[in-house]
Structure 1
Amino acid sequence: MGFPGTWMTESESMVYRVVPKCACSTIGQIMYYSDHGRFFDGDIHDSTEGLHKWAQDASQPKIEANVLKHASYSFTCVRNPYTRILSSFFDKICGIQRNGRRYRGNLVPLLIQKYGIDVGGDDGKQEFDQIRSFRRFLLFARDTIRWRRPMDPDIHWSAMSGHVSTFIVNGGTYDNIFFTETFNEGMQSVLDAVEVAHPVDLASIPRFNESEGHGPKRAHPVADYFDDLSMHLVYEMYKRDFEVFKYDFEDPSNKMPVGEIDLDEVHKKLGD
């Protein structure tokens, strides 16, 4: 199985388990900068040099040897499940991707046909009922997670705990899991724990939000998208995320965590 979704600096100063929709573009660029003193020109997900990635065959032996020995500081970053699934909807379902096309080709036409979802027309710029459409998307996301129909769940809306757990199950250990909602504080705690060739000033670096501008802007407060049924679906999909990463299921308007992450609990509950 190995360590899918794992990135490591070439200097092996740090190891990061990517969780989609949780500041991964910014984290990857910070890692790249810490080794090279410059940011990658483009979307860091497209880089094929300057950063070890499990998806690159030559990187796999190095990542595996490092993680199994716990030779470097290992971390990941998580996000409120309510805002994460909303972000996935606007970016991946409503948005035009950086290649100029819809995400995953025939996915959006399938959703329009089978679930009655509206995405704001061919360019995603027309007005549409965001709340109604999002709630229908939630039914689809639940179907993919619960029954793997009409397709397997996509990495952008599959549970964070699933991403985080593969690293543990296959022999990795986290030193730090921090919150997207307190990003600078969390990322600083990582940088404080490692030695880097090029110091990173978090206050001055740009935010590499690669999904920004892909889709329509959210027209309503987060809580407006979630009625009782929507909250039930979210809990069905992300129960474990709320529990181990300490987010507030009862109040979709509260994006902040309600407690500190207990790394021992994470390793125990997600390491089975």
Structure 2
Amino acid sequence: MGFPGTWMTESESVVYRVVPKCACSTIGQIMYFSDHGQFFDGDIHDSTTGLHKWSQEASQPLIEKNVKKHKSYAFTCVRNPYTRILSSFFDKICGIQRNGKRYRGNLVPLLVQKYGIEVGGDDGKQDFDQIKSFRRFLLFARDTIRWKKPMEPDIHWSAMSGHVSTFIVNGGRYDHIFFTEHFNEGMQVVLDHIKTPHKVNLKKIPKFNESEGHGPKRLHPVEDYFDDLSRHLVWEIYKRDFQLFKYDFDNPGNKFPLGEIDLDEVHAKLGE
């Protein structure tokens, strides 16, 4: 199995387990900058040099050796499940992707046909009932996660605990897990624990939101998208995320965590 979704600086100063839709573009660029003194020109997900990634064959033995011996500080970052699934909907389902096409080719036509979802027309810019369409998307997301139908679950809406756990199950251990909602404080903890070839000043780092502008703007407060049925589905999909990462299930309008993450609990529950 190895360590899918794991990135490491070339200097091996730090190891990061990517969790999609949780500030991964910004984190990747910070790691790249900390080694090279400049940002990657483009989306960091497209880089094939300058950063070790498990998806690059040559990087795998280096990452595996490092993680299994816990040679470097290892971390990841999580996000409120309500805002994460909403972000996935507007970016991946309603949005036009970097290549000028719809995400995953025939996925959106399938959703339109089977679930009656609207996405704002061919360019994603026309008006549509965002709340109704999102709730139908949530049914689809649940179907993919629960029954793997009509397709396997996508990394952008599969549970964070699933991403986080592969690192633990295969022999890794996290030194820190922080919240997207408290990004600067959490990332600063990481930087305070590592030595990098180039110093990183978080106050001067731009936010690299690669999904911004892909899709329509969210027109309503977060809580308006989640009625009783939607919240039931969210609990079914993300129960572990709420519990382990201390987010507020009862109030979709509160994006902030209710407490600190217990790393020992995360390792115990996700290492089974």
| TM-score interval, normalised by the smaller of the two chains | over 0.9
Q: Take 1:269 and 1:180, find their aligned partners in 2: how far apart are those partners?
A: 22
Q: Alignment partner of 1:232: what SS?
A: helix
The answer for the alignment partner of 1:74 in structure 2 is 74
Q: Take 2:82 and 2:271, find their aligned partners in 1: how far apart are those partners?
A: 24
Letter in 1 for 2:176: N
The answer for the alignment partner of 1:192 in structure 2 is 192
Q: Alignment partner of 1:8: what SS?
A: strand
Task: Report deviation, 1:149.
Answer: 0.2
Matched, 1:109 2:127: no
Task: Number of aligned residue pairs: give it.
Answer: 272
Q: Take 1:207 and 1:263, find their aligned partners in 2: how far apart are those partners?
A: 27
Q: Alignment partner of 1:203: what SS?
A: helix
Matched, 1:6 2:10: no
Displaced runs of 4 or more, over 4 A: none
Q: Take 2:203 and 2:224, find their aligned partners in 1: how far apart are those partners?
A: 32
Task: Report deviation, 1:172.
Answer: 0.1
What percent identity do the matched residue pairs reach? 83
TM-score normalised by structure 2 residue count:
1.00
Task: Report deviation, 1:205.
Answer: 1.1
TM-score normalised by structure 1 residue count:
1.00
Task: Report deviation, 1:68.
Answer: 0.1
Written as runs of structure 1 = structure 2, the 5 A alignment for 1:138-177 is 138-177=138-177
Q: Take 2:257 and 2:152, find their aligned partners in 1: how far apart are those partners?
A: 29
Written as runs of structure 1 = structure 2, the 5 A alignment for 1:211-222 is 211-222=211-222
State the Cα RMSD in Å.
0.3
Q: Take 1:206 and 1:22, find their aligned partners in 2: how far apart are those partners?
A: 15
The answer for the alignment partner of 1:264 in structure 2 is 264
Task: Report deviation, 1:204.
Answer: 1.1
The answer for the alignment partner of 2:57 in structure 1 is 57
Q: Take 2:6 and 2:262, find their aligned partners in 1: how far apart are those partners?
A: 21
The superposition leaves residues 74-111 of structure 1 with CA deviations (integer Å, 9 ceiling, x where unpaired) of: 00000000000000000000000000000000000000
Letter in 1 for 2:109: P
Q: Alignment partner of 2:204: what SS?
A: coil
| Structure 1 gaps, min length 5 | none
Letter in 1 for 2:54: W
The superposition leaves residues 180-217 of structure 1 with CA deviations (integer Å, 9 ceiling, x where unpaired) of: 00000000000000001111111111110000000000
| Structure 2 gaps, min length 5 | none
